[in-house]
Amino acid sequence: MTFPSLAGTLVLGLCAVTWATDYLGGALTYECLGPGPGNTTRYRLRFTLYRDCKGIPEPRSVKVYYRSNECGVNLESDCG
């Protein structure tokens, strides 16, 4: 490839329209609800997703993984 054609390819590449498929941000919060069945504690999780309305669509559900080495728990839950 010669220098003029390489330079032309780079200039055309810089003029291309681009967009991202990322979310703007999010937050995961929890609230302790107190004792649950057996020897457990119940929590309420809230996931907030911030996105550009013209961007990619929101997910239908959110998968949450949770683990406690102390209690020997390693689970996941599909929230949606």
Mean pLDDT in order along the chain per 10 residues (80 residues): 53 56 81 90 86 79 84 82
Q: How confident is the model at residue 54, as a pLDDT?
A: 76
Closest Cα partner for 26 from 46, 44, 55, 43? 46
Q: Residue holding tokens 């999780």?
A: 45
**Whole-structure pTM value:** 0.52
Rg (CA), the chain: 23
Query: What pLDDT is stored for residue 68 in this prediction?
Result: 83
Amino acid 7: pLDDT:
52
List all residues 6 or more positions away from 31 whose beta carbon is below 8 Å from its beta carbon.
Answer: 43, 44, 46
pLDDT at 35: 92
- pLDDT at position 14, please? 55
- Residue found by looking up tokens 């054609």 in the block: 5
